[in-house]
Amino acid sequence: MLKTKVKPKTASKTTSKEKAELIELYRQMLLIRRFEEQCNVAYRQAKIGGYLHLYIGQEAVAVGFISQLQKQDRVVGHYRDHGYVLALGSDPKAVMAELLGKETGLCKGKGGSMHLYDRDKNFLGGYGIIGGMIGIATGVAFKQRYMQEDGVTLCFFGDGSMNAGLLHECFNMAGLWDLPVIYIVENNKYAMGTALEHHSSETNLAKRASVYGFPSKQIDGMDVLSVRAEAREVIKHVREKREPYFVEAITYRFVGHGAADITDPGSYRTKEELEEWKERDPLESLKAILVGDGVISESELQTMDDEIKAIVKEAARFADESADPPPDALFEDVLA
């Protein structure tokens, strides 16, 4: 079983600012978790159609990285993208409405789960084609360099993308032209039902990405504090040195590849493996630290959970009650 060797770090909880930040990390992960759970319900109710890929288990990666961004920075992701927009602060109502294909959705109901966009929150899209997001992110970073801005671009994708030719082409150009892009592979061990060792000739992905003239490293993607610490360093490096960086975040998804997945666990991974990883639940780990160190009490956490559940419920209600796009919308937005 491929598990990270990076040890979770404990937090320094000296200042009240730091305390608030820790709580905020937890709050964001919890929002994503509860939101995704609601999505699953809506999918079973056939309110959400098409493909639905949930982020449950991987919350620490998005939250840890995105917590370190500044407003001139940009984010691009693959189709498993709810976590990114929620961590960036998109309105859960507009996200849920998009998943239900409503006109009040982030993309007026035209994008759906795999194709969220939120320009105001610096999210330049979820992409349904493996590899696609890497090209887009590389171009966004190209613009940052071309205009001599100091922003950086985060690009999130899965281990399956390592085998897309486009990744190779873009990594080479990013290395050649020193683009301020941070490629983050969320290595959750499986591309759909194909295990890492069945799809990648080199299972150390940080090593695989090490030949394009820019640094790469492996990090523990299950521990949000560790992700945050690494993200801070990596983002600082890229912002200052103006060169790309590759990060392999070792993580795991606790749910099927897609909400429709009927072969999991069983056909390609075992129940035991899944259970073992669930013991490293990023929410549980942080909760243990927060409560153990007295940063927050169990009852405050309960209140937080209630609040978040209310937010998610409100998002579901909003989405339900929103109107479908009008027929004319079909022919709008084809050309700018």
Ligand X SMILES: Cc1ncc(C[n+]2csc(CCOP(=O)(O)OP(=O)(O)O)c2C)c(N)n1
Question: What are the tokens at 137?
Answer: 């992110």
The one of its own copies, Mg ion, another protein, none whose footprint includes residue 89, by CB under 5 to 8 A per kind, is: none
Shortest distance (Å) from residue 128 CB to its own copies = 18
Question: What are the tokens at 298?
Answer: 């169990």
Please identify, using beta-carbon distances, which residue of 79 and 245 lies nearer to ligand X: 79
Residues 42 to 101: which contact another protein by CB under 8 A? 49-51, 74, 76, 101
Q: Which stretch binds ligand X (CB under 6 A): 90-98, 148-156, 158-166, 297-305?
A: 158-166
Please identify, using beta-carbon distances, which residue of 90 and 188 lies nearer to Mg ion: 188
DSSP tag of 254: S
Helix (H), strand (E) counts: the chain: 12, 8
The one of its own copies, Mg ion, another protein, none whose footprint includes residue 211, by CB under 5 to 8 A per kind, is: its own copies
Shortest distance (Å) from residue 124 CB to another protein = 6
Alpha-carbon torsion, ordered 33, 39, 45, 48, to 10 deg: -170
Rule CB under 8 A: say whether 1 interacts with another protein: no
The one of another protein, Mg ion, its own copies, none whose footprint includes residue 213, by CB under 5 to 8 A per kind, is: its own copies
- Which of 8, 64, 83, 111 is the binder for another protein (CB under 8 A)? 111
Closest listed residue to residue 2, CA positions, set 269, 260, 229? 269
Q: How far apart are CA 282 and CA 287, in angstroms?
A: 8
**282-292 and 59-66 helices cross at what angle (nearest 10)?**
60
**The residue to which tokens 């942080």 are assigned:** 286
The one of another protein, its own copies, Mg ion, none whose footprint includes residue 194, by CB under 5 to 8 A per kind, is: another protein
Question: What are the tokens at 133?
Answer: 């997001």
Residues 121 to 140: which contact another protein by CB under 8 A? 124-125, 127-132, 134-140
Q: Which stretch binds ligand X (CB under 6 A): 123-131, 211-219, 220-228, 262-270?
A: 123-131
Site string for Mg ion, 179-218 (x = CB under 5 A): ---------x--x---------------------------
Rule CB under 6 A: say whether 192 interacts with ligand X: yes
Segment (H or E) for 13 = none
The one of Mg ion, its own copies, another protein, none whose footprint includes residue 128, by CB under 5 to 8 A per kind, is: another protein
Alpha-carbon torsion, ordered 259, 261, 262, 266, to 10 deg: -120
Rule CB under 8 A: say whether 176 interacts with its own copies: yes
Closest listed residue to residue 68, CA positions, set 269, 270, 220, 226? 226
149 C-beta neighbours (distance < 10 Å), count: 12
Q: How far apart are CA 301 and CA 291, in angstroms?
A: 9
Residues 146 to 165: which contact another protein by CB under 8 A? 146-147, 160-161, 163-165
Q: How far apart are CA 289 and CA 153, in angstroms?
A: 30
Rule CB under 5 A: say whether 256 interacts with Mg ion: no
**Binding-site residue total for its own copies (CB under 8 A)?**
27
Rule CB under 6 A: say whether 33 interacts with ligand X: no
Give the distance from CA 153 to its chain's centroid. 14
Closest listed residue to residue 38, CA positions, set 301, 315, 324, 303? 315
Beta bridge partners, 190, equal 195
Rule CB under 8 A: say whether 241 interacts with its own copies: no
Segment (H or E) for 130 = none
* Chain residues that interact with its own copies, rule: CB under 8 A: 162-169, 171-176, 198-202, 207-214
* Chain residues that interact with Mg ion, rule: CB under 5 A: 158-159, 188, 191
